[in-house]
Amino acid sequence: MDPRPHTVNAGGFTTRYWESTPPHTPRGTIVLVHDGAFGGDAISSWAHVMPLLARHHRVLAPDLLGYGDTDKAVYLDRSPYAFRTTHLAAFCAAVGVDTAHFIGQSFGGSLLLRAVATTTPALPARTVVSICGTGGPWRTEKGITELGRYDGTEEDMRRLVTTMVDDYPGLDDTIRARYANTRKPGHVTACLAARLRHPTMAAPTSDDTWPAPLRHSPIPVHVVEGTRDDLLQPGWSHHFDDLAPHIHSHRMNARHAPNLDQPDTLTDLLLTFLTTRTTP
For residue 207, what pLDDT is reported?
64
- Provide CB contacts within 8 A for 68, sequence distance 6+: 16, 40, 41, 42, 43, 181, 184
Element at 10 (helix H, strand E): strand 4-10
In 200-218, which positions are buried (b, 16+ CB within 10 angstroms) versus exposed (e)? eeeeeeeeeebbebbeebe
Nearest to 231 by CA among 84, 80, 37, 39: 37
For residue 151, what pLDDT is reported?
97
Starting at the earlier edge strand, list the strands of the sheet with 4-10.
4-10, 13-20, 58-62, 29-33, 100-105, 125-131, 221-226, 247-252
Q: 207-210 contacts: CB < 8 A, separation 24 or more? A: 207/136, 207/137, 210/135, 210/136, 210/137
What 3-state class would DSSP assign to 103?
strand
In 154-191, which positions are buried (b, 16+ CB within 10 angstroms) versus exposed (e)? eeebbebbebbbeeeeebeebbebbbebbeeeebbebb
Under DSSP, the state recorded for 54 is: T
Q: What is the pTM of this model?
A: 0.96
Query: How many CB atoms neighbour CB 264 within 10 A?
Result: 11
For residue 145, what pLDDT is reported?
95
Under DSSP, the state recorded for 240 is: G
For residue 161, what pLDDT is reported?
98
Domain ranges, residue 121: 4-198+207-276
Under DSSP, the state recorded for 145 is: H
For residue 235, what pLDDT is reported?
98
Q: Are 236 and 225 in contact (CB under 8 A)?
A: yes
Query: What CATH number does residue 109 fall under?
Result: 3.40.50.1820
Q: How far apart are CA 47 and CA 43, in angstroms?
A: 5
**Across the 280 residues of the chain, what is the mean pLDDT of every consecutive 10-residue run?**
94 98 92 98 98 96 98 94 98 97 98 97 97 97 95 98 97 98 97 84 74 95 98 98 95 98 98 75
The number of domains in the chain is 1
What 3-state class would DSSP assign to 214?
helix
Q: Are 78 and 84 in contact (CB under 8 A)?
A: no
Query: How many CB atoms neighbour CB 78 within 10 A?
Result: 11
Q: How far apart are CA 248 and CA 25, in angstroms?
A: 29
Q: Are 184 and 152 in contact (CB under 8 A)?
A: no
Q: What are phi and psi of 43, to 5 degrees?
A: -75, -35
